[in-house]
């Protein structure tokens, strides 16, 4: 046999031996070579008595089902910036996430039609003002004649009435001029407070309509997380209740307080809107995504100390005491609750398990 062939045979024998050893180990852990051992148990070669402070009893307890519901960080103070007049939007100065100060220009509307109307009412005001001045002069003249008995009462009353009518026309025209100038100021949409732009609903060229928002502003003060919660769980909440809120963007979980619960139920999703007042957090902004975390229900489960669980590869095992003899037991775990962990298979309530001394240290 050549040296190369001898080397290949050696490799094959080594691989075969390793595979056989692994199979024997798995069979041994399953109890295949030990009589009177139930499936899933492996006896341990330890005759030393286990101290009581290194054991624990498997307990059956009621635990909370912690559920999470997504929500959005919003401000208590929200303003929809909308025109008071109908005019085309010429320019919008802000975008989503922009910060603005009170009085900053948000958008500008087309003022040409209003300018034309203003010129028209100014011309009308000039005309009625001239008429009122002539009527006032006639009133003063007829008053002198009337006192000298050179004019009749009828003529006097007619000229006085005409002067009052002319003055009323001046007042009306002046009011129209003031209205036009107010409309001119309405073509500039200004920020009513310091805030952040959270929505931009129109674009330049769109028609601005009274009451239809162009942008939406929110303040960065008094922020709340607003979450839609199923009615089956919403009934467990009440205003003033402390809850946990997680803000992923800031990698923070904080305690917060329920501020408001909407009595209305969404017929489509069967949820109610819950608003949670958030504490002051550096970097927190309207629009951030968050989670409302809270127990909605309870279930009965088996709990053991986390340090009793050992990991062998992807297997989870514990040591149990059976007739004062330690045995290895394969288990499956689920959620953790503090320093305890939920066991969903492999153990029964009342069994005694051995704690891992190394983890305890």
Pairing of strands 242-247, 325-337: unpaired
Which residues contact residue 2 at a Cβ distance below 8 angstroms, ignoring those fewer than 6 apart?
Answer: none
Q: Which residue has the higher pLDDT, 38 or 97?
A: 97
Q: Is the pLDDT of residue 194 over 80?
A: yes
Q: What is the mean pLDDT of the chain?
A: 80
pLDDT higher than threshold 80 for residue 39: no
For residues 276-285, give the mean pLDDT.
Answer: 88
- Whether 66 contacts 293, CB under 8 Å: yes
Q: Which pTM value belongs to this model?
A: 0.48
Instruction: Indicate whether 35 pLDDT > 50.
Output: no
DSSP letters, 122-149, are: HHHHHHHHHHHHHHHHHHHHHHHHHHTT
CA distance linking residue 138 with residue 126, whole number of Å = 19
For the chain, give the percent of residues with pLDDT over 70.
81
Whole-number pLDDT of residue 36: 37
Cα 191 from Cα 105, distance rounded (Å): 7
Top pLDDT among 29 and 250 is at 250
pLDDT in tens, 76-129: 888 999 999 899 999 999 999 898 999 999 999 998 887 777 777 777 777 778
Task: Determine which helix (DSSP H) or strand (DSSP E) holds 302, and give its type and residue range.
Answer: strand 289-305
Looking at residue 203, what is its pLDDT? 94
pLDDT of amino acid 214: 95
Q: How many CA atoms lie within 13 A of 64 on its CB side?
A: 11
Predicted confidence (pLDDT) per residue in 132-171, tens digit: 787 777 777 777 776 777 667 777 777 778 878 878 877 8
Q: Dump pLDDT digits (tens) for 303-354.
A: 888 888 888 888 889 888 877 778 888 988 888 877 888 888 888 888 888 8
Contact, 110 vs 183, CB < 8 A?
Answer: no
Lowest mean pLDDT among 169-173, 214-218, 249-253, 276-280: 169-173
| pLDDT at position 179 | 77
User: What pLDDT is stored for residue 5 in this prediction?
Assistant: 54
């Amino acid at each position: 046999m050549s040296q190369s062939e001898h080397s290949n045979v050696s490799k094959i024998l080594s691989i075969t031996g390793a595979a056989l050893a692994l199979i024997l180990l798995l069979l041994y852990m399953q109890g295949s070579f030990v009589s009177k051992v139930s499936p899933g148990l492996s006896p341990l070669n330890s005759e030393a008595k286990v101290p009581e402070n290194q054991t624990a009893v498997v307990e059956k307890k009621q635990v909370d089902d912690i559920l999470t519901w997504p929500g959005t960080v919003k401000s208590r103070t929200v303003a929809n910036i909308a025109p008071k007049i109908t005019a085309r939007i010429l320019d919008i100065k802000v975008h989503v996430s922009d910060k603005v100060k009170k009085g900053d220009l948000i958008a500008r509307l087309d003022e040409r039609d209003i300018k034309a109307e203003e010129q028209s009412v100014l011309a009308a005001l000039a005309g009625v003002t001239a008429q009122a001045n002539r009527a006032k002069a006639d009133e003063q003249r007829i008053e002198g004649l009337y006192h000298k008995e050179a004019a009749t009462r009828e003529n006097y009353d007619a000229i006085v009435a005409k002067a009052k009518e002319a003055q009323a026309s001046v007042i009306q025209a002046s009011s129209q001029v003031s209205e036009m100038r107010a409309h001119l100021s309405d073509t500039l949409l200004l920020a009513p407070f310091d805030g952040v732009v959270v929505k931009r609903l129109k674009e330049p060229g769109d028609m601005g309509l009274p009451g239809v928002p162009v942008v939406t502003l929110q303040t960065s003060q008094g922020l709340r997380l607003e979450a839609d919660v199923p009615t089956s769980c919403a009934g467990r909440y009440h205003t003033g209740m402390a809850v946990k809120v997680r803000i992923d963007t800031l990698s923070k979980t904080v305690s917060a307080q329920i501020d408001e619960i909407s009595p209305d139920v969404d017929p489509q999703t069967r949820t109610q809107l819950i608003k949670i007042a958030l504490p002051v957090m550096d970097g927190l902004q309207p629009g951030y995504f968050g989670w409302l975390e809270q127990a909605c229900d309870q279930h009965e489960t088996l709990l053991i100390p986390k340090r009793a669980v050992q990991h062998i590869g992807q297997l989870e095992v514990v040591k149990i005491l059976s007739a004062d003899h330690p045995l290895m037991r394969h288990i499956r775990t689920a959620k953790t609750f503090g320093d305890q962990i939920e066991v969903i298979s492999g153990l029964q309530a009342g069994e005694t398990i051995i704690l891992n001394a190394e983890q305890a240290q």
